[in-house]
Amino acid sequence: MSDNTQPNASVSAVIILAAGAGTRMKSATSKLLHQVAGRSLLHFAVDAANAVEPERLVVVVGHQREQVEAHLAEIAPHVTTAVQEAPRGTGDAVRSGLVPLDDASGDIVVTMGDVPLLSGETLRELVAEHRQQGQAVTVLTTRIADPAGYGRIVRDAGGTQVARIVEERDCTEAQRLIDEINAGIYVFDAAVLRAGLAQLTAGNAQGELYLTDVITFARAQGHRVGGVVLADSIQAEGVNDRAQLSRLNREYNRRILAKWMDAGVTILDPETTWIHDGVDLAEDVTLLPGTSLEGATSVARGATIGPDTTLIDVEVGEGASVVRTHGSLSVIGPGATVGPFSFLRPGTELGVKAKVGAFVETKNAKVGDGSKVPHLTYCGDAILGDGVNIGAGTIFANYDGVTKSTTTVGDHSFIGSDTVLVAPVQIAAGAYVAAGSTISADVGPGELGVARARQRNVPQWVARKRAGTKTAAAAEAAIRAAGEAVAQ
């Protein structure tokens, strides 16, 4: 095989069709921006297209084009967009896509923006077959048990070449029985494509310009038209409604989970575990039921995540444990423990063997090695040294209504339960704060900070203010009992 038939050989251009209205999604968001495994459908299409190293990549936009173009500017600024002004069929869409490619020659790949499971490897193999067989057009096909709704592949008498593609509405009864369908993905010789598009007419049941009619044109001109049958048929499945989106999400997730289990990750319940494409997991990670790992989350060797945990762009260190927690844009150090019922907001950084416990919320908080925030605490805009212990019910009062300020707690200091630390304030290393204090001034090294009023008990208050109540009766009984005990 010569160099230009290698699967990784580049193509002149790829055209991605992404102009459809997607009305069955019933959404204010463009269908192409709905997600599978944390990435948009269009992002998948662009990634697959990049696998054949196109000299130019064109996305044909139409309905909700502003959304689509803004998204492309974020994920693929190198892409050129072309506009299909009116929905006149796939042939017209490809015509629109050729406008910025007026001088393109060689091979042009045409693919769809709503087939998220289509792999780059499949496109490379399609291009390789196209070149190896010297074909003018090569069509990606697949066989499915229920071909309803798809264009049928009609082969020539020998079965090796594609004679034509017949759309569902134009099929005869015999053609409806054909189980080989058009996946909507092609490789064209640029000259044949342009000539075929120029001959298109809308003489069909839908009154549209069919790209598939270029196949008939190419055959009439004596060109070879081949079809590559895709064994993994779900790669050709598009997203037209929410049910299909859910199905492809689940199937793609199943494949991601299988990959990680093969790599040495324990996933206790694959049915309730979800992992995005950008996640990285080490060997001997354990994922418990109800875990969702999203974005660029990474989990180091021996860590356990879950149950019932969602981590978004979180770095988890070796041997850490994260239980019933929601975390985002945070770092959890080696051997750290988090949860249950913890909320790690962006900017949280936990040191080695640090602890964030039950019903604790952190935000922009750095918790040092071995430090503990065990329960019922809001820890926002805080810097905790090593070996710090934060008592239950502590509030880091970081916001005065205008400005957010930072609280610093030094190494091996102890904050008593039910304390309010009013930022900005510094608790020095080796200091104590008495339980129930409201601290608004710095506490020095080795000092005990106490900021609470002296307790005062008011005699006979219940008898005067709550006479006739069960509380008053209980108090009277207790007073009598105490008096009798003294008398004895």
Active site residues: 375
The dihedral through the CA atoms of 26, 27, 28, 29 has a sign that is negative
Backbone angles phi, psi at 173, to 5 degrees: -60, -40
Burial of 136 (0-12, 13-18, 19+ CB in 10 A): buried
Cα separation, 284 vs 266, in Å, equals 7
- To the nearest 10°, the Cα dihedral for 447, 452, 453, 459? -120
Cα separation, 386 vs 395, in Å, equals 19
Q: What share of the chain is helix, strand, coil (3-state, %, to 5)?
A: 25, 30, 45
Tokens at 311, concatenated = 């981590």
Backbone angles phi, psi at 403, to 5 degrees: -120, 140
Tokens at 91, concatenated = 């042939």
> H/E element holding 473?
helix 470-487
Helix residue ranges per DSSP H, 311-467: 461-465
Cα separation, 362 vs 331, in Å, equals 12
Side-chain half-sphere of 122: how many Cα atoms within 13 Å?
Answer: 26
Cα separation, 312 vs 332, in Å, equals 12
Residue partners of 155: CB distance under 8 A and separation at least 6: 161, 162, 163, 180, 227
Tokens at 298, concatenated = 């990474």
The dihedral through the CA atoms of 276, 45, 122, 229 has a sign that is positive
Side-chain half-sphere of 85: how many Cα atoms within 13 Å?
Answer: 1
Cα separation, 102 vs 58, in Å, equals 12
Cα separation, 430 vs 412, in Å, equals 5
Reference 184, options 243, 136, 233; nearest CA is 233
Characterize the bridge pairing of strands 315-316 and 298-299: parallel
Q: How many CB atoms lie within 10 A of CB 102?
A: 7
**109 in Cβ contact with 186 (< 8 Å):** yes
- SS3 call for 61: strand
Place of tokens 């304390």: 419
